Amino acid sequence: MAGTPVSTQLKVLREVAVENRPRGTIALFTLAFPLGGQAAPAAKPVK
């Protein structure tokens, strides 16, 4: 897994001043990573 790009996101939503809906808080956690293939090798520096 070393060198694999991984992205994470945490979003917290809170209902305030609502009518006809329950009040509350929700947290959404997202984790994204590539499903297949190999990461491209690093480019060699040009001399």
pTM above 0.75, yes or no: no
Q: What average pLDDT does this structure show over 26-34? A: 92
Indicate if the pLDDT at residue 23 is higher than 80: no
When pLDDT is cut at 50, 70 and 90, the band that residue 1 belongs to is low
pLDDT one-digit tens code per residue, 6-15: 999 999 998 8
pLDDT of residue 8: 95
Cα 6 to Cα 47: distance, rounded to the nearest angstrom: 32
**45: its two tokens:** 């520096």
11 or 19: whose pLDDT is higher? 11
Please tell me what DSSP assigns to residue 2. T
